[in-house]
Amino acid sequence: MRWLPQSLFGRLLLFLTAGLVIAQLLSAAVLLQDRDQALYHAIGGHVAQRIAAIVNLLDNAVDTDERRRLVTALDLPPTRINLDVPWETVTKPDERYHTTLFRALLKRQLGPERPFQLEINDDLPAPPPGRLRWLDPDQPPPRRAWADRPPRWPAHAMMMGLRNFVVQVRLGDGATVTFQQVLPEEVIAWPLRLLLILLILLVSVAALAALAVRALTRPLAVLADAAADLGRDIRRPPLDAAGPLEVQRAAHAFNTMQERLIRYIENRDRILAAISHDLKTPITRLRLRSEMLDDMTAREKFLADLDDMQRMVQASLDFLRAGEDSEPVAPLDINALLESLQEDAEDTGHEVGIVGVATEPLRCRPLALKRCLTNLVDNALKYGQRAEITVKEPPGRLLLLIRDSGPGIPVAELERVFEPFYRLEGSRSRDTGGTGLGLSIARNIARAHGGELRLRNPPQGGLEAILDLPR
């Protein structure tokens, strides 16, 4: 899923925030529904009592004129009263919760024997009474179609379900009185205070969740940084084993691993020193004895074989030592190093070009990095006759591109040439010299600095070695 954040912190925060938002939306829906029902109970009961009281007054009026005077006096917003609307019905029943509740409240106040009809609708102004549902059980409802719905209430009012109460009641003498109760805007508006409380709760919990996720993921970031630093400095300070139990166990395991690696490297260094001494001593004795041979041809062959043996032993020891970090880390002027390599190549009759400059020194092991670059430049000069070094500085990195003008390497062999003692046939064979360890040593040094070395065949030809080092 490409839309997911790449970091663990981002993913946890996304999931927690999404869960909180969904929970708050569901809570808001439940609270608004409960508020809706509570308002219907309160408002519906009040409206039902008012309608029942007015119906009793109109029933007790002595004549029609007195009844109309009462209607004129009581016909005030939000309750409008009309005696001239005929009794008409629609066939479509309304079984919504709010309608059923208000019908039960009206029946309780008016009495079970008094016929009435009711509709709660979404329209403004109130629909004609012909849309009202017939509630008299003794008379069947006539059929009537009605179209052209008037304008709707605003969306926030419709979501509550509180709109227009339209009620028709039969009086004792058969007359019809029509009541229309329009709820004021402040009653049906969104409960902004409640929504503000839910929003504050959501923001507060989301902020606490972000802090909690940051606290939980920080040890992983510290562990990742320590693992990356371990490749550059095996003797870096151990991790602080503080925090939750799981973090303490991870830090302790990491520190134990670091101690074992240090002991392994120290043992290897002692073995390499012993091997170097034990191998160089007999080679030196053989060289002295070869000098005493009278046969010049045999002496030259012996000395040539001894030179090959000494180069192979030294290259093998250099390969084994390539990843060690006994040399201290120090700032190195990359431009001065490249210029010295250029001068050394020119002294031997070769051409080395430099493109670009490094803007600041690089913290590294100077001798090891010089050995790495020397191997790469020598390799380029040996197989490509000339070399060009390009310096690039992407954010937080240093790229050194060493390109030659030779025949290049087959794509399938670009990784295999880093294997110890591996040589290609043809132009990169034993006839050109070397032990097959130059690229292996260079890659080991690059990785010991936390970087990487790779090869590619550029479009313009030749072979390009890309040394990528962190700053």
Question: Tell me, what CATH number does 410's domain have?
Answer: 3.30.565.10
Structure tokens at 450: 């936390």
pLDDT given for residue 147 in this prediction: 35
For the domain that residue 310 is a member of, what is the CATH number?
Answer: 1.10.287.130
Q: Looking at the structure, tell me whether residues 95 and 162 fall in a common domain.
A: yes
pLDDT given for residue 344 in this prediction: 87
Residue 170 included in any domain: yes
Residue 430 included in any domain: yes
Domain count along the chain: 3
Residue 180 included in any domain: yes
Other C-beta atoms lying within 10 Å of the C-beta of residue 451:
22
Structural domain of residue 448, as residue ranges? 330-470
Q: Looking at the structure, tell me whether residues 310 and 263 fall in a common domain.
A: yes
pLDDT given for residue 158 in this prediction: 37
Q: Looking at the structure, tell me whether residues 342 and 451 fall in a common domain.
A: yes
Q: Looking at the structure, tell me whether residues 188 and 245 fall in a common domain.
A: no
Q: Looking at the structure, tell me whether residues 243 and 275 fall in a common domain.
A: yes
| Residue where one domain finishes, among candidates 140, 165, 193 | 193
CA distance 467 to 471: 13
Q: Looking at the structure, tell me whether residues 343 and 405 fall in a common domain.
A: yes
Residue 54 included in any domain: yes
| Residue where one domain finishes, among candidates 271, 293, 321 | 321
CA distance 309 to 234: 32
pLDDT given for residue 186 in this prediction: 53
Q: Looking at the structure, tell me whether residues 366 and 454 fall in a common domain.
A: yes
The residues pairing with 167 across neighbouring beta strands, listed in sequence order, are 118, 179
**Residue 321 phi, psi dihedral angles, 5° rounding:** -90, -5
Q: Looking at the structure, tell me whether residues 171 and 24 fall in a common domain.
A: yes
pLDDT given for residue 131 in this prediction: 40
pLDDT given for residue 435 in this prediction: 60
Given a contact cutoff of 8 angstroms between Cβ atoms, the answer to whether 102 and 40 are in contact is yes
pLDDT given for residue 150 in this prediction: 42
Residue 348 included in any domain: yes
Q: Which of 257, 96, 82 is nearest to 180 (CA)?
A: 82
Question: Counting beta carbons within 10 angstroms of the beta carbon of residue 191, is it exposed (0 to 12), middle (13 to 18) or buried (19 or more)?
Answer: middle
Given a contact cutoff of 8 angstroms between Cβ atoms, the answer to whether 253 and 269 are in contact is no
pLDDT tens for 302-316 read 888 787 777 777 666
| Residue where one domain finishes, among candidates 267, 286, 321 | 321
Q: Looking at the structure, tell me whether residues 40 and 159 fall in a common domain.
A: yes
Q: Looking at the structure, tell me whether residues 302 and 422 fall in a common domain.
A: no
Residue 128 included in any domain: yes
Residue 19 included in any domain: yes
pLDDT given for residue 135 in this prediction: 42
Q: Looking at the structure, tell me whether residues 77 and 163 fall in a common domain.
A: yes
Low-confidence ranges of the chain (pLDDT < 70): 1-2, 6, 89-94, 121-163, 183-191, 231-232, 272, 275-277, 314-326, 421, 423-436
Residue 13 included in any domain: yes
Q: Looking at the structure, tell me whether residues 268 and 383 fall in a common domain.
A: no
The residues pairing with 386 across neighbouring beta strands, listed in sequence order, are 351
